Amino acid sequence: MQGGIRFNSIGNELRKTFGRRTVKLSIDAGFTCPNRDGTCGYGGCAFCSGDGSGELAAHLSADTEALASAISSSISEQISLLSDKWPDAAYIAYFQSHTNTYAPVSILRRLYYQALDDPRISGIAIATRPDCLGEDVLDLLEEISRSHYMWVELGLQTIHEETSLAMGIGYDLEVYDRAVSELLSRGIRVVTHLILGLPGETEEMMLDSVRYVCSQPIFGIKLHLMNVVKTSRLSEMMPDYVPFGSIEEYADLVVRCLEIIPPEITIHRLTGDVPRRLLIAPEWSYRKRTILNKINSELAARDTHQGAAL
Between residues 39 and 298, the one the model is more confident about: 298
Between residues 232 and 4, the one the model is more confident about: 232
Report pLDDT for 32.
84
Report pLDDT for 53.
44
Above 90 in pLDDT, residue 256? yes
Above 80 in pLDDT, residue 258? yes
23-43: buried (b, 16+ CB within 10 Å) or exposed (e) per residue? bbbbbbbbbbbbbbeeeeeee
For 88-117, write each residue's pLDDT tens digit.
999 999 999 889 999 999 999 999 999 999
Distance CA 255, CA 6 (A): 10
Report pLDDT for 62.
55
Distance CA 74, CA 62 (A): 15
pTM of model > 0.85: yes
Above 70 in pLDDT, residue 221? yes
For 269-300, write each residue's pLDDT tens digit.
999 878 889 899 999 999 999 999 999 999 99
End-to-end CA distance of the chain: 13
Find out whether the peptide bond into 282 is cis, omega within 30 degrees of 0: yes
Above 80 in pLDDT, residue 264? yes
For 171-219, write each residue's pLDDT tens digit.
999 999 999 999 999 999 999 999 999 999 999 999 999 999 999 999 9
Residue 58 banded pLDDT, cuts 50, 70, 90: very low
Above 50 in pLDDT, residue 56? no
Mode of pairing for the β-strands spanning 228-229 and 279-281: antiparallel
For 146-171, write each residue's pLDDT tens digit.
999 999 999 999 999 999 999 999 99
For 63-74, write each residue's pLDDT tens digit.
888 889 999 999
Above 50 in pLDDT, residue 244? yes
Residue 131: which region, alpha, beta or left (left: phi > 0; alpha: psi -120 to 50)? alpha
Above 50 in pLDDT, residue 246? yes
Report pLDDT for 1.
61
For 194-204, write each residue's pLDDT tens digit.
999 999 999 99
Residue 44 banded pLDDT, cuts 50, 70, 90: confident
